[in-house]
């Protein structure tokens, strides 16, 4: 057995001559324990919130999107796009035609983005999870329907259950010069009943989703589309397919994955989590550096032992290593127990949801969400290990400072 470890372990559990040493050591362990527990719980809660937010975004955001690098639309009726549509690794291939338009409802008006989608868009069975009113229906026996975002619904006061009041959508006609006699002749005006209201986030909640055929009639576009949205089958690597598509299409098209489509969101989620980690780490460092006081008192308590060890041939490096290991054992004990308790707490929260945020809503339960990432546990353990090593190394230097004078005194 390693000599330094053996002696350090004996010192850790041996009875001290001064009870204050035991108290300070216990405080050091408790501080690291509480800090580690809090850090892993907070990181797991942030993971949970991240999963909830991304799940809502991913409901409306495809795994891959293809857009023209120049201009607003492109022709999807080419050989490659036909082959891509028939690719068996693709679950849904949605043609999208979108443009800004003016929406009228019950004497109120608001600009909005009209998004026409083909039938494959409805293969996404999780669309119902973002609905707060009505159903996600784009066509029924009476014709086309629209599903609108919550921000647009709130501004216009749309009642999706009213079968008589319809949305009036105004879009400028293509290739028509402005008429000073009757400006309304310059617009295509179509009516469509709302079937439901969805809520995701502000960027999407000013959106109105309609059938592709309705959007073509509204925008006067017979064949071109604004984008193609693709979702892949289970077990298919979307990133690999995205790179293959980008390589085939070249510089005329922009191909993005989910992260690239919502880069700002991912940056915000990541930066918030790292800021919380840094703040809690500073608190943890304060707790870890309590070990300096504990080891300093232990060195004073074991001065006679240090002198005897040196007389028996133990070098200064060995003596320093003994107290270094002692400090590491104290802090890592608190860290390991903290990670275990944090893990158990998160499991209980995940299963029973005892800690509540407030009132629940349709999109999210009222319990704090929790999600585990093994990297977080490794990160916390490494963080504690690094700073406990620094603190223990500083304190262990005290053990050999006056060793020569001690030998003379003894």
What was the pLDDT predicted at 176? 59
d(CA 165, CA 185): 23
Higher-scoring residue by pLDDT: 360, 169: 169
Looking at the structure, tell me whether residues 82 and 223 fall in a common domain: yes
| CB-neighbour burial class of residue 370 (10 A; exposed 0-12, middle 13-18, buried 19+) | buried
Number of structural domains found in the chain: 2
The confidence band for 243, taking pLDDT boundaries of 50, 70 and 90, is very high
- pTM of the predicted model as reported, rounded to 2 decimal places: 0.72
Higher-scoring residue by pLDDT: 382, 200: 382
Asked if the model's pLDDT at residue 95 lies above 80, the reply is yes
d(CA 142, CA 366): 38
Looking at the structure, tell me whether residues 35 and 156 fall in a common domain: no
What was the pLDDT predicted at 323? 74
What was the pLDDT predicted at 317? 72
Higher-scoring residue by pLDDT: 322, 212: 212
Alpha helix ranges (H) inside 289-373: 290-301, 303-311, 316-352
Higher-scoring residue by pLDDT: 109, 330: 109
| CB-neighbour burial class of residue 323 (10 A; exposed 0-12, middle 13-18, buried 19+) | buried
Write the DSSP string, 342-364. HHHHHHHHHHH--SB-SS--SSS
Residues facing 102 on adjacent strands: 111, 170
Residue 249 vs residues 55, 191, 224: alpha-carbon distances, Å: 29, 37, 17
Q: Quote the mean pLDDT of the chain.
A: 82
| Structural domain range at position 345 | 3-58+266-409
Task: State which of 226, 261, 296 marks the end of a domain.
Answer: 261
Higher-scoring residue by pLDDT: 145, 4: 145
Looking at the structure, tell me whether residues 220 and 78 fall in a common domain: yes
Looking at the structure, tell me whether residues 128 and 115 fall in a common domain: yes
The confidence band for 337, taking pLDDT boundaries of 50, 70 and 90, is very high
Short-list 329, 323, 324, 328, CA closest to 299: 323
d(CA 5, CA 182): 92
Residue 278 has a CB neighbour count (10 Å cut-off) of 9
What was the pLDDT predicted at 1? 46
Asked if the model's pLDDT at residue 343 lies above 90, the reply is yes
For residues 184-200, average pLDDT: 86
Looking at the structure, tell me whether residues 72 and 200 fall in a common domain: yes
d(CA 379, CA 335): 12
What was the pLDDT predicted at 27? 79
What was the pLDDT predicted at 120? 93
Region of poorest pLDDT, from 20-34, 154-168, 198-212:
20-34
If you average pLDDT over each of 163-177, 221-235, 272-286, 311-325, which comes out highest? 221-235
Region of poorest pLDDT, from 43-47, 228-232, 364-368:
364-368
d(CA 104, CA 268): 35
* CA angle, residues 218, 219, 225, in degrees to nearest 5: 120
d(CA 88, CA 91): 8
* Per-residue tokens: 353: 């949801």
For residues 365-389, average pLDDT: 86
Short-list 104, 92, 25, CA closest to 63: 92
Asked if the model's pLDDT at residue 7 lies above 80, the reply is no
Looking at the structure, tell me whether residues 332 and 371 fall in a common domain: yes
- Is residue 351 within 8 Å of residue 43, measured between CB atoms? no
Residue 93 vs residues 56, 64, 118, 232, 348: alpha-carbon distances, Å: 20, 10, 8, 9, 40
Task: State which of 261, 284, 318 marks the end of a domain.
Answer: 261
For residues 313-326, average pLDDT: 71
For residues 312-333, average pLDDT: 75
List, for residues 269-302, the tens digit of each pLDDT value: 788 888 888 888 888 888 887 777 777 777 666 6
Task: State which of 261, 285, 312 marks the end of a domain.
Answer: 261
Asked if the model's pLDDT at residue 399 lies above 60, the reply is no
Question: HSE on the CB side for 301, CA within 13 Å?
Answer: 18
d(CA 211, CA 214): 5
Which residues lie closer than 8 Å to 162 by C-beta, 6 or more apart?
Answer: none
What was the pLDDT predicted at 331? 85
Looking at the structure, tell me whether residues 31 and 142 fall in a common domain: no
Looking at the structure, tell me whether residues 270 and 191 fall in a common domain: no
Residue 183 DSSP one-character state: G
Residue 352 vs residues 6, 345, 346: alpha-carbon distances, Å: 43, 10, 10
d(CA 324, CA 3): 13
If you average pLDDT over each of 145-154, 327-336, 358-367, 383-392, which comes out highest? 145-154
List, for residues 60-86, the tens digit of each pLDDT value: 889 999 999 988 999 999 999 999 999
Looking at the structure, tell me whether residues 133 and 104 fall in a common domain: yes
Looking at the structure, tell me whether residues 271 and 163 fall in a common domain: no
- Is residue 115 within 8 Å of residue 207, measured between CB atoms? yes
Short-list 277, 280, 279, 274, CA closest to 31: 280
Looking at the structure, tell me whether residues 9 and 125 fall in a common domain: no
Looking at the structure, tell me whether residues 109 and 237 fall in a common domain: yes
């Amino acid at each position: 057995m390693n000599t330094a470890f053996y002696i350090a372990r004996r010192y850790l559990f041996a009875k001290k001559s001064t009870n204050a040493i035991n108290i300070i050591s216990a405080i050091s362990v408790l501080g690291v324990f509480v800090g580690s527990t809090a850090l892993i719980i907070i990181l797991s809660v942030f993971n949970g919130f991240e999963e909830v937010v991304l799940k809502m975004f991913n409901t409306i955001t495809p795994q891959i999107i293809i857009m023209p690098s120049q201009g607003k639309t492109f022709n999807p009726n080419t050989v490659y796009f036909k082959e891509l549509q028939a690719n068996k690794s693709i679950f849904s291939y949605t043609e999208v035609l979108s443009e800004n338009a003016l929406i009228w409802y019950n004497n109120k008006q608001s600009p909005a983005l009209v998004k026409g989608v083909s039938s494959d868009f409805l293969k996404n069975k999780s669309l119902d999870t973002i609905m707060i009113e009505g159903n996600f229906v784009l066509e029924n026996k009476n014709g086309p329907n629209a599903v609108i975002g919550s921000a647009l619904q709130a501004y216009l006061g749309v009642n999706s259950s009213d079968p008589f009041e319809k949305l009036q959508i105004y879009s400028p006609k293509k290739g028509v010069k402005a008429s000073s006699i009757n400006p309304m002749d310059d617009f295509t005006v179509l009516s469509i009943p709302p079937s439901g209201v969805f809520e995701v986030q502000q960027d999407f909640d000013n959106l109105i989703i309609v059938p592709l055929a309705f959007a073509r009639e509204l925008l006067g576009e017979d064949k071109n589309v604004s984008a193609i949205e693709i979702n892949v089958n289970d077990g298919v690597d979307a990133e690999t397919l995205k790179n293959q598509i980008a390589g085939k299409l070249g510089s005329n098209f922009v191909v993005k994955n989910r992260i690239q489509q919502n880069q700002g969101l991912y940056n915000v989620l990541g930066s918030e989590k790292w800021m919380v980690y840094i703040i809690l780490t500073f608190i943890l460092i304060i707790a870890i550096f309590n070990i300096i006081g504990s080891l300093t008192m232990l060195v004073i308590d074991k001065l006679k032992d240090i002198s005897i060890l040196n007389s028996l041939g133990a070098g200064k490096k060995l003596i320093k290593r003994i107290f270094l290991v002692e400090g590491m054992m104290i802090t890592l004990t608190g860290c390991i127990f903290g990670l275990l308790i944090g893990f158990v707490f998160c499991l209980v929260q995940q299963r029973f949801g005892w800690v509540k945020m407030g009132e629940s809503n349709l999109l999210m339960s009222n319990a704090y969400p929790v999600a585990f990432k093994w990297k977080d546990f490794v990160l916390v353990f490494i963080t504690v290990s690094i700073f406990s090593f620094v603190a223990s190394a500083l304190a262990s230097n005290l053990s050999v400072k006056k060793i020569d004078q001690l030998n003379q005194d003894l």
